[in-house]
Structure 1
Amino acid sequence: MTTREMVVNQFLRQVKLGNHIIGVASGAGITAKYAEQGGADFLLALNAGKFRQMGRSSAAGFLPFCNSNEMVMTFASREIKPVIQKIPVFFGLNATDPTIDLDRYIENIKQLGFEGINNFPTVGLIDGQYREALEETGFSYDLEVEAIRIAHEKDLFTVAFVFDEEQAKSMLHAGADIICAHLGFTAGGMLGAKKVLSLEAAKLKVQRIFDVCDAIRPDVIKMIYGGPVKMPVDVQYMYSNTNLMGYIGGSSFERIPSEKTITNITRAFKTTGNLSESDLMVKMLEGITKHYDYVQFVKKYVAEHYMQKISFIDLAHVAYISRSHLSALFKREVGCSFPVYLVKFRMNRAKEIISAEDDLKLSEVAELVGYSDYAQFSKMFKKYVGLTPTQFKSRHKHEC
């Protein structure tokens, strides 16, 4: 059985190696299965995830459409736990549920094999008069702190969503293993919340919370969730500007990609028969000689796929021509062999990218033009440009 200490050590080892901790809030087995395959470090089984799978907003998890804890218990036990092999699954616990005894319910969660809990749904996402009414009747954030304390004492791993510095202090003293600065409902996609914090405002809020963590328990794992942070570039901004250790995503992994992919693939099938004549794949399927001569086809293919591995033999097969004949035609018309042409094309693209994107690392430029081995890229760049990539970048910066 996976213990809290094992999970903590596993996560801290990842951080020590320079990796980021990634958590995925899931509402279905298929999301959980492929999140694990993609390298997620843990899963949160949240009622919001199930509502996302139903095509509804995460906000539905805060209204009395169903019993949150029963919902999570059902889908997490039947859909998620059976398909997860290597990473821990944490139960999204509605700690303010007046129909349960927290101690007994958390013990039941442990006995069912969940490795930890998370305080969701949380009253931290509720404000105004309704929040005041909840607090007055005892349904407060303090119950969520108590749930984290109980789970910690039962040797369960705990992920605490916090919204300000005072809540962070309470959760730290309760023993939370992860302090996650919750930035509100995730923006983006068709169902995203319309009003969210800006990244800059989010950064300031996150750092205030993390400063509290560093003052009280510097070893606690610090993560963020939601709000304007929904894409890898957003997370990178937070990594660069705070002492963030990881990211938890729900809509970012489950809703937004599904919306885009399913919409686009459906449209693609719907429009079959009316595809653009400029689509290279369409022309390849129809037969390239209908649209190009052989050499034009190869040059067009290189222009669209230079960042990927290109097999000259495969191109010859697609064109229904022998490799040797295509090679001879290409060299006669272009003036050099295909390998030389491909390298030159890639190096020219690399020069353009370096000149236009000053912030990109040279290793990233190499990958963008089809080289996973930076040493090989640098060697080819020096051979065809006359300068190393570093020298070229330095000279360009000086000239500008």
Structure 2
Amino acid sequence: MKREQILDNLKSQLKMGNHIIGVSTSAGITAKYAKQGGADFILTLNSGKFRQMGRSSLAGFLPFCNSNDMVMDFASREIIPLVQDLPIIFGLNATDPTKEMETYINEIKDMGFSGINNYPTVGLLDGLFSEALQEEGNAYLLEVEAIRIARERDMFTVAFVFDEIQAAQMIEAGADVICAHLGLTEGGLLGAKKVFSLEAAKVKADKIFNICNELKPDLIKLVYGGPVKTPIDVQYMYSNNEDLMGYIGGSAFERIPSEKSITNITKAFKGSGKLDEDDLMVKMLDGVTKHYDYVEFVKEYVAQNYMNDISFLDLAKVAHVSRSYLSSLFKKKVGCSFQTHIVKFRMDKAAEILDRENIQCSELAPLVGYQDYAQFSKMFKKYKGYSPKQYKSNLNTKR
């Protein structure tokens, strides 16, 4: 995809109030479903391949292979042929002494990549090793130069930066995206042990973005890695940094979900003869009335699925009773209709989330089953006496 087209698409997303999402991967299946989930671009980084091998992202910085050759191999075979209408960004090791950068960046463009990103980056290295690299000429400025060359080739460029000086250097080189790199991603079985707290990450991103605003206010500003690994973490960053426009993740989209889901599904199949008797799905499959009465089944289902659309007719079918009978029974035992019960439950959950988290009211509605914020706000005020914004303001005053 052409650079201007990519930028137009990203700016359109921002105008519509959406966030920019980049997914780092080395696997076609991840790229395919990241696109289906709405990713705006794919980064092909060498650490992604090591994650697929069951290794830490740190392996991308060790002398196990030539990073550029690895990325060129898997990305040209697995990613570009599969995801042709989404920008694919090449993770370029700009300090590679075996490549002549101007020629190699031309080759990257000719292979169908939309742009480059400086990874693996010497910006993640410090101490004596970093000093030794600097003395040998393997400095961050080589990555800046690679971004400049790609920009001259009219390629889309995503720059990982670690401080304000690097941000200024990358802006001068013509980077389209400045991404505050917050360190290796925390969490899961292979996560880095030492990471910034979310608050420290916020402060770091603030400093970098302030420079961006001084030098080029309309620049796209993202964050990557460190303690930001879940949607809640990203929401914290959005809520506390008005300049942040989106997020790039690798382990957060690929390694951590795989670790959890594969571990859990294997345990489930292994213990399929000894399933937890409290599991709602087990009770539904085995027959609702064998375990508890109809009303308790409905209440438990609401408690576990309030954030989704719930069909009372479907619940009646699962319970093998008529809708009218279940409705009458529910109102008799609970004291209100099913519809009133689920609205009350959702409003209580919404208040609970506001009590616990610093979240935008507009982003709260989908978490409790409402796609229409106006309808959600109307129901919240009806049952809580205040609009969501008033309720949140009262909370902030008490705090």
Q: Normalized against structure 2, the TM-score is what?
A: 0.89
- For residues 225-257 of structure 1, the C-alpha deviation after alignment (integer angstroms, 9 at most, x for no partner) is 111222222222222333122211111111111
Q: Does 1:255 align with 2:255?
A: yes
Q: Does 1:281 align with 2:281?
A: yes
- Aligned partners of 1:24 and 1:248 also within 8 Å: yes
**Taking structure 1 as reference, are residues 388 and 33 closer, same or farther at Cα in structure 2, changes over 3 Å only?**
same
1:207 alignment counterpart: 206
Match of 2:344 among 344, 347, 351: 347
2:272 alignment counterpart: 272
1:239 alignment counterpart: 238
Q: Does 1:372 align with 2:371?
A: yes
Q: Does 1:38 align with 2:41?
A: no
2:112 alignment counterpart: 113
Q: Distance in 1 between matches of 2:391 and 2:326?
A: 36
Which range moved further: 192-201 or 293-302?
Answer: 293-302
Q: Distance in 2 between matches of 1:379 and 1:38?
A: 30
- For residues 4-57 of structure 1, the C-alpha deviation after alignment (integer angstroms, 9 at most, x for no partner) is 222222222322333221111111111111111111111110001111111110
* Paired residue type of 1:342: Q
Which range moved further: 325-334 or 118-127?
Answer: 325-334
1:188 alignment counterpart: 187
Counterparts of 1:64-83 in structure 2, within 5 Å, are 64-83=63-82
Q: Distance in 1 between matches of 2:349 and 2:222?
A: 37
Q: CA deviation at 1:215?
A: 2.2
1:93 alignment counterpart: 92
Which range moved further: 37-46 or 162-171?
Answer: 162-171
Counterparts of 1:133-172 in structure 2, within 5 Å, are 133-172=132-171
Identity %: 64
- Aligned partners of 2:109 and 2:115 also within 8 Å: yes
Residue ranges of structure 1 left out of the alignment (5+ in a row): none
What secondary structure is seen at the aligned counterpart in 2 of 1:169?
Answer: helix
- Aligned partners of 2:313 and 2:323 also within 8 Å: yes
Q: Normalized against structure 1, the TM-score is what?
A: 0.89
Q: CA deviation at 1:119?
A: 0.9
Q: CA deviation at 1:112?
A: 0.7
Q: Distance in 1 between matches of 2:386 and 2:99?
A: 67
Which range moved further: 2-11 or 57-66?
Answer: 2-11
Q: CA deviation at 1:352?
A: 6.2
- For residues 366-387 of structure 1, the C-alpha deviation after alignment (integer angstroms, 9 at most, x for no partner) is 545444334445555677x494
2:27 alignment counterpart: 28
Q: Distance in 2 between matches of 1:209 and 1:250?
A: 21
Q: Distance in 2 between matches of 1:194 and 1:168?
A: 26
Q: Distance in 2 between matches of 1:39 and 1:68?
A: 28
Q: Distance in 2 between matches of 1:174 and 1:392?
A: 46
* Paired residue type of 2:199: E
- Aligned partners of 1:94 and 1:120 also within 8 Å: yes
Task: Name the Cα RMSD after superposition.
Answer: 2.8
Q: Distance in 1 between matches of 2:374 and 2:161?
A: 45
Counterparts of 1:379-398 in structure 2, within 5 Å, are 385=383, 387=385, 389=387, 393=391
Q: Distance in 2 between matches of 1:208 and 1:356?
A: 30
- For residues 300-328 of structure 1, the C-alpha deviation after alignment (integer angstroms, 9 at most, x for no partner) is 43444344333333223222334444445
Residue ranges of structure 2 left out of the alignment (5+ in a row): none
Q: CA deviation at 1:275?
A: 1.4
What secondary structure is seen at the aligned counterpart in 2 of 1:229?
Answer: coil
